[in-house]
Amino acid sequence: MIADRSAIVATGLGVRRGGRWLLRPSDLGVTGGVAGLAGQPGTGKTTLLATFATLRRPTTGALEILGHDTGNSAGLRAIRARIGYLPARFAWAPQMTAGEFVAYAAYYKGMRSGAARAALHRADLTDAAGTQLAHLPPEVRLRAGLAATCVHEPDIVLLDEPLSRLAAGRPGDDTAAADLVPLIRSLAPVVLVTGTAPAALDVWCDRVFTLTRGRLSDAPGAATPPFGSPLPPRRSLRRSLAGPFARAARFAGTGV
Amino acid sequence: MSELGRALRQDARRAALIIAVPLLAVTGCLAGWPSLVPGVGYWDNSVVALLDATRVMAPLAAGLAAWAGVRERRLDFLHDLTARSPATAALLDLLLLAVAALTAYALVALALAAETLSRQDAGAPAPLGLLPGAAALVLHVVAGYLTGRVVPRAPTPLAVAAVALPWALLRPAGTGLWSLLPPAAYDRVDLFSTLRPAVLAAQTLWSLGLTAALVLGYTAWLDRRRALVAPLALALAASAAAAVGLAGARPVQPAPAALICRDWPLTVCVHPALRAALPAVTASATPLAARLTGTPAAFTRVEQGPVRRPAGVRAGVAVVHLDDDLSPGHGERAARQIIAGLVSHYPCPSARTAQYRALVDSWLLGTAAPALDDPATARRFGAWPEETRRAWLRGHYTSYERCALGARTFRHTPHDAA
């Protein structure tokens, strides 16, 4: 059964927005590892990710995350305590320091200030903790976002185009992005990231899917999942992203 | 500092409360100050001034709260994915915004109270008068903020203010539900009236009920909690009951006051807050009383009355109205009110008869005689000694009252007739 092994189980899940299907009703299972979801701008990656983050309700179908039904309040609260979500252009207050930002997130995640300090340490932000976010370079600001998102050590992390701000062609962007990949991979047992180009995700994701015209499919030339085979389809589409649901090593230390 | 304290501090910095509080306070003072017309510092009018301030502060507070709501929506990725209730962030924001609005409101109330205390005050400070404005302000903050959360678009704050402004400013003062729903406009309260406590209480309850309903409804929607439906229904019922209480209600009621009097040479009584008017009213009313002696309009007592009691003479008592700013000439204006009250039922049929009445009026008031089309009559009347004029008036009072005076009326003095 998908529910036995999958962190995210969707049954007949359909997401519709603006009069068109972003995801046609499908069955879907996401297990462990790092999965990439690629698609051109406007195909609905962000909306789909927000749906997995429980910030949007699906148009149709049922969505079960970490064994809890998103359709009831008790399940929703249990899920939200165990997932982290970082939008592509995540908001922050300019006058907040990185440390304040992570501590602020810790309050809402129900964590003590010690957890915030630990998250800053894991993200190698101890030295930058007292600097205002507005004064930090993009890759360090992203680290702060990741630390805030994962201050409660979630089981699932959903990142919307995390490296997009490091793709502006500035000197050092490539190096910074490469430094961030190990950190992202270690955030949680299940990491789901989005990106525009399948090839860019394919380099560092265990498996990459593309979203085109409301349908999910394996990206051409995608790597074979290292953690087992996809589960067989149950209805129109069933996908298993990566293998055993085991907690990954957290926040491999990386330099800023 | 506690975890909650740190979070609140961050929220307060983001919500720019350090700007919002002085902005609201200054706006409130500017809006409320004109309602404090010169004159007696009547506490009920200070409440009216505070409510007038609220009518401007509330739409502004709603717009600011909507702006905060729109901005906070961007942090939903932190606020909503929480082990706490997803309504926690919204409730903390509402707490901060409400405290900021109430702080500004308190500053305005203090400024108005200080101004009232700096003058001859009347009535008594009523704590209940503070509540309708405060509750209306909080209601606007909550409604504005939640609108910003639900419709997180850039124009939302302006749209909220654009809806709240006409609601607060364009409804006229008066009776009935439409006029009394907060923030309501009030007319100035005269010294012999007071704001009706039941109306103030109903306005407060209406605002608090709606505020509670909005907060509970939003929390129930976010939390998907059915347990909140019952208190939500209770809040709506309380608000509806308050609205029923406001329908047809009158915002003010009579407030009898023990007058303060001067007994010589004439008994003149005024509201204690206007005791400074006693010398001027006495000086103007005494010769008038002497000249009307022996006529049906004779009076031996002058009383300041409420606006609802017409000026004039009844049963030997002359009723006058006084402006509470006691501007120069208030004594003479009181005497004119007495005379106007005597003849108000009988308008003059022609300009000529009006001139004859004006001739008598000028004598009664001790002012210069007006120019008449009939100068001979004016000269004749002006030549009579005081006692002759008084005797003439006693004989022709009915003609004077009914504006039936003519040249022939002035040809014969009472002495001639005798």
Domain ranges for chain B: 3-254, 257-345, 346-418
Of the partner residues B3, B82, B225, the one whose CB lies closest to the CB of residue A80 = B82
Of the partner residues B13, B74, B225, the one whose CB lies closest to the CB of residue A91 = B74
Of the partner residues A106, A108, A110, the one whose CB lies closest to the CB of residue B79 = A108
Pairwise CB contact (< 8 Å): A107 & B4? yes
Best of B13, B81, B226 to disrupt the A interface (most A CBs within 10 Å) is B81
Query: How much is the pLDDT for A139?
Result: 87
Pairwise CB contact (< 8 Å): A73 & B77? no
What are B407-415's contacts with CB under 8 Å, separation 24+? B407/B374, B407/B376, B407/B377, B409/B356, B410/B356, B410/B377, B410/B380, B410/B381, B411/B380, B413/B384, B413/B388, B414/B388, B415/B388, B415/B391
Better-scored residue on pLDDT, A225 or A179? A179
A144-153, A214-223, B267-276, range with the lowest pLDDT? A214-223
Query: How much is the pLDDT for A172?
Result: 67
Query: How much is the pLDDT for A146?
Result: 93
The answer to whether the CB of B401 falls within 8 A of the CB of B292 is no
Q: Which residues of chain B have pLDDT under 70?
A: 1, 14-16, 412-418
Pairwise CB contact (< 8 Å): B74 & A148? no
Angle, helices B88-117/B3-14, rounded to nearest 10 degrees:
70
Instruction: Give contacts of B75 with chain A, Cβ < 8 Å.
Output: 91
Of the partner residues A73, A95, A103, the one whose CB lies closest to the CB of residue B13 = A95
Report DSSP letters for B148-207, one per residue.
Answer: HHHS--TTHHHHHHHHHHHHHHSSPS-SSHHHHSSSPP-PPPPTTEEE-HHHHHHHHHHH
Best of A104, A157, A160 to disrupt the B interface (most B CBs within 10 Å) is A104
Pairwise CB contact (< 8 Å): A112 & B76? no
Query: How much is the pLDDT for B41?
Result: 73
Q: Which residue has the tokens 């009831």?
A: A72
| Helices and strands, counts by H and E, chain A | 8, 11
Mean pLDDT across chain A? 79
pLDDT > 70 in chain A, percent: 80
The answer to whether the CB of B237 falls within 8 A of the CB of B213 is no
| Alpha-carbon distance A29 to nearest alpha carbon in chain B (angstroms) | 21
> Does residue A153 sit at the B interface (CB-CB below 8 Å)?
no
A163-167, A251-255, B5-9, B406-410, range with the lowest pLDDT? A251-255
Query: How much is the pLDDT for B416?
Result: 55
Q: In whole angstroms, what is the distance from residue A223 CA to residue A203 CA? A: 9
Whether this model's ipTM surpasses 0.90 comes out as no
Instruction: Give contacts of B15 with chain A, Cβ < 8 Å.
Output: none
Of the partner residues A95, A96, A110, the one whose CB lies closest to the CB of residue B83 = A110
The answer to whether the CB of B370 falls within 8 A of the CB of B395 is no
Q: In whole angstroms, what is the distance from residue B77 CA to residue B320 CA? A: 69
Pairwise CB contact (< 8 Å): A152 & B75? no
pLDDT tens-digit map of B163-217? 999 999 999 888 788 889 999 988 888 888 889 999 999 999 999 999 999 999 9
CA dihedral B75, B81, B86, B88 (to 10 degrees): -60
How much is the average pLDDT of A59-80?
89
Q: Which CATH class is domain B257-345?
A: alpha beta
Instruction: Give contacts of A72 with chain B, Cβ < 8 Å.
Output: 224
Pairwise CB contact (< 8 Å): B6 & A108? no
Pairwise CB contact (< 8 Å): A104 & B7? yes
